[in-house]
Amino acid sequence: MSEEMQRTIEALVDGQRGILAADESSGTIAKRFAAIGVESTEQNRQAYRSALLATPDLGQYIAGVILFEETLEQCDTEGTALTAVAQAQGIVPGIKVDKGKGPLPGAPGDMITYGLDGLAERLTDYKDKGARFAKWREVYPISHHNPTALGLTANAEMLARYAAVCQSVGIVPIVEPEVLIDGDHSIERSAAVNERVWHAVFHALHQHGVELEYLLLKPSMVTPGKSAPRAPVEQVAEWTLKILRRTVPAAVPSINFLSGGQSPQEATKNLNAINALSGQSPWQLSFSFARALQEPALQAWRGEAVNTGAAQAVFLKRARLNHLAMLGEYRVDMEP
């Protein structure tokens, strides 16, 4: 198992590339399509996602793709499996395995994610279909009293149990504790919450015997709430690195941030600042964005086949700019 997971880690972590999150659930993709006036039919989802994966040269900047269950079994119009389209570009297919979230009873305002029952069997099936890594997301809203102590423990426990099941079948888990940016909280409050969350997660991973060498962490960046004034990128980088260093063991090979509702440019700027400030850090500091990679592509595509090339061009550009941000070489004047 560990040799197989080591190969997956080596394919995903090369200091140059990130992960595309294209695993929007049926509800979420419907919302993204509605924003560009496109109906979420199976055909439209196939057209859109196969266009993303077929983007020429994408493999230069993207090492892995997180798919939704439907996509793992889908083919393009020529009958090639979308997993094969990804693999042909040197992109490792992965799979979202959680089944969404709901309220956590006993902890008003906190959430909990579903999907542990039968997970080992599902993972074995996904592996047969080409998936080499998985993703599970726990969600933490920030409010005056959230996350609660129970919320912290219960969510960490879910992530650790999921990760342990993944590793038992040779699948590399992406552990995603998403602290939401909704609200008007300060960057200091975000730092304090993320610190408690990451600490609880690594404590639970340890208790469940999860091997840190074979997992990826997908955290939020430490930013102020969406309704609070923006923080300078240097401050985001400083807080994010400070809290990561306090809580994430050096054995973890890579940290792949989510974008969480930041604009594409903001997410890239922050990733660049984090890498520029990090110096010799024990982990790769990369990305696993959904919205911050896809938004410009969705706007360019708008459900029309004639726009596919234009959508692929802006998508490739976002992927390249985030690759440059990993190297600390991104500049805002590269945007227009």
Among 289, 301, 315, 330, binds ligand 13P (CB under 6 A): 289
Contact 226, 182 (CB under 8 A): yes
Among 17, 49, 291, 318, binds ligand 13P (CB under 6 A): 291
Identified catalytic residue from 69, 176, 178, 295: 176
CA distances from 111 to 78, 148, 207, 243 (A): 41, 10, 22, 23
- Among 32, 74, 71, 3, residue whose Cα is nearest residue 292: 32
- Map residue 276 onto helix, strand or coil: helix
Stretch that binds ligand 13P, among 125-133, 143-151, 252-260, 278-286 (CB under 6 A): 252-260
Interaction between residue 196 and ligand 13P (CB under 6 A): no
176 given a catalytic annotation: yes
Q: Which is nearer to ligand 13P, 247 or 256 (CB)?
A: 256
Q: Prior bond to 147 cis, omega within 30?
A: yes
List the beta strands (DSSP E) in 159-297: 172-179, 216-217, 254-257, 284-287
Contact 217, 255 (CB under 8 A): yes
Identified catalytic residue from 127, 218, 238, 269: 218
- Reading phi first (left if > 0) and then psi (alpha if -120 to 50, else beta), residue 173 is in beta
Among 12, 21, 181, 244, binds ligand 13P (CB under 6 A): 21
**Pattern 110-139, binding to ligand 13P, x per CB under 6 A?**
---------------------------x--
Longest CA span, the chain: 53
Q: Which is nearer to ligand 13P, 238 or 295 (CB)?
A: 295
Cα–Cα dist 334/336, whole Å? 6
Cα–Cα dist 237/187, whole Å? 11
Shortest spacing between CB 220 and ligand 13P, in angstroms: 8
Stretch that binds ligand 13P, among 39-47, 105-113, 164-172, 284-292 (CB under 6 A): 284-292
Shortest spacing between CB 1 and ligand 13P, in angstroms: 25
Among 173, 177, 253, 260, binds ligand 13P (CB under 6 A): 260
Within 10 angstroms of residue 313's Cβ, the number of other Cβ atoms is 14
Q: Which is nearer to ligand 13P, 34 or 251 (CB)?
A: 34
Q: Which is nearer to ligand 13P, 97 or 258 (CB)?
A: 258
Stretch that binds ligand 13P, among 55-63, 71-79, 191-199, 288-296 (CB under 6 A): 288-296
Contact 210, 223 (CB under 8 A): no
Stretch that binds ligand 13P, among 149-157, 222-230, 289-297, 308-316 (CB under 6 A): 289-297
# chain residues binding ligand 13P, by CB under 6 A = 10
295 given a catalytic annotation: no
Cα–Cα dist 203/142, whole Å? 21
Which residues form the interface with ligand 13P (CB under 6 A)? 21, 137, 176, 258-260, 289-292
Active site positions, annotated: 176, 218
